[in-house]
Chains A and B, each alone.
Chain A
Amino acid sequence: MKKNRKLAGVIFENICRFFTIISLIAVVLILGSLFLKGKGLITWEFLTTEPLDGMTKGGIFPAIFGTICVTVLMIIFALPLGVASAIYLVEYAGTGFLARTIRAAVNNLAGVPSIVFGLFGVGFFILFVGRNIDKVLQTGLLFGQPAMLWAAATLGVLVLPVVIVSTEEALRAVPLSHREAAYALGATKFQVVSRVVLPQSLSGILTGAILSVSRGAGETAPILFTGCAYFLPRLPVVTIPYLNIPMINPLDQFMELSYHLFIMATQSIDAQATRPIQYGTAFILITLTFILNLSAISLRIYFRRRHKR
């Protein structure tokens, strides 16, 4: 009897170990093949030049540039919105019906397929918001068409749950004793939030922001219809009149790494010839995401050490 119980434990442990190894193999295979086939292609030229000859040759600079621009814009959208919502939910909303409903909505938002966000972006941002801006400002067809602005806004909505949930966690991690201490000194709620809670949760909020960037930077579906271009013979940059300063043009379309990968694999004039570029692009995309995740982790470790008591 006793022997049987021991045996059950050993079998269970080994089954778990076996499945762990399988998922590990999947990761190793993906990363390994990308690294082996992609590393030889990564040259300075590949990173800094434009695609040539119907995108069968040349580099991926416009796609890297576009990815960074749209991601920065995305975080400008998502961070204030998400952080403010989280502060409201944690510090002000309490546990009533409304708060519970909002929380459930946020969690459901995280489960919506990304293509739905893409279509939402077209319907809401381009056709509704954009076209109406055009109507009001009499700008013809300027805002009411796919643009980096709308792609970033769509991505922003997509990563909103990530920002909200991670910010909520960061706020809740501030010990009650610190809030009590501040209240006992006659702090108002606003002072408790702004001078005690927010400074202490900054690292967690930052970590969440970086994680949301790494989530958003790899998405294809939300930007598919909202702003990214198959090929763009120019960077999405305008020169500000009179000042002569170049600026990212959020109303232009842009190229993006994951979309670039998608079209080279499926819509290229010669998919076979683009194979090396595909590996290179995927390698760069994964590297970017990896660097972002790594910086999130090290940021968290750094702040945890600093706050250790």
Chain B
Amino acid sequence: MDPLTKNSYKVETKNLSYSYEDHKVLHDVSLPIPDKKVTAVIGPSGCGKSTLIKAVNRIGEITSQIKVEGEVLFNGENIYRPGVDVVELRRRIGMVFQKPNPFPKSIYENVAFGLRIHGITGKEQLDSIVEQSLRQAALWDEVKDRLPESAFELSGGQQQRLCIARALALDPEVILMDEPCSALDPTGTAKIEETIQVLKSDYCILIVTHNMQQAARVSDYTAFLNLGRLIEHDLTTNIFTNPKNKLTEDYITGRFG
């Protein structure tokens, strides 16, 4: 059975169209995203990859006027229906951004930030969750002796793993990653990819990437977007070895994009 036809997905966009101001960025995108797998979104610049994942935790609307048609289902419920608690939604859907964006606080306080704003303040509880999150992000051994130092003292790759730990601290169900390695060197990139491999056994991961080798290495499923439309979505091995669409083939073989 093709796993893509299964009925229960962690996240699923259904005929999603998404506009900023009057500019329509996504057209009728229907993409199922299964749990405990990595789904990669690839496509040329400006194809709407970032917009797609920013639609999943409703972060796109904090800076712009947006218009949404269609649905984004999270555990089967449309997150754009009236009355959805956006704050709770974002607690359950973590996000890692394109550029590492730690707060100008200590390493410890960066990871503890999300816990504090959700009312967890017990010292022991904070300590244990901070340690566990940093371990999951494969950063603990490098920073365990310097937790009170500023997060800006870390290298770019370490900062990005700190941002992953910060998202993990809230025990989310989904992790969104918006080109998480685009600002990193190859070593930093390799570490993030290793981390993703470990995390996928517990989380539903949706990653946008500009780098096709990366998509091939880390993901189970790949979706190819072009000009705001979903062109093809399949098992990663199928997309890269036997694409069905001519556009997909041209893109992955480097003929455009």
Contact = CB atoms under 8 A, between A and B. Distances in A.
Contact of B104 (A179, A184, A307): A307
A234 interface: no
A107 interface: no
Interface in A255-287: none
Interface stretch (B113-121, B136-144, B205-213): B113-121
A220 B94 CA distance: 56
A181 B117 contact: no
A241 interface: no
A184 B63 CA distance: 13
B57 A184 contact: yes
Interface in B227-247: none
A181 B101 contact: yes
Interface string B70-82: 0000000000000
A178 B101 contact: yes
Given A186-B87, A191-B117, A309-B152, A181 B103 contact: yes
B117 A180 contact: no
Contacts of A180: 59, 62, 97, 101
Contacts of A182: 103, 113, 117
Interface in B62-115: 62-63, 87-91, 94-95, 97, 99, 101-104, 113-114
Given A183-B90, A184-B167, A186-B90, A177 B97 contact: yes
Interface residues of A, number: 21
A185 B166 contact: yes
Contacts of A191: 117
Nearest to B159: A309
Contacts of A200: 104
Given A176-B63, A180-B59, A186 B170 contact: yes
Interface of A: 175-188, 191, 195-196, 200, 307-309
Interface of B: 57, 59, 62-63, 87-91, 94-95, 97, 99, 101-104, 113-114, 116-118, 152, 163, 166-167, 170
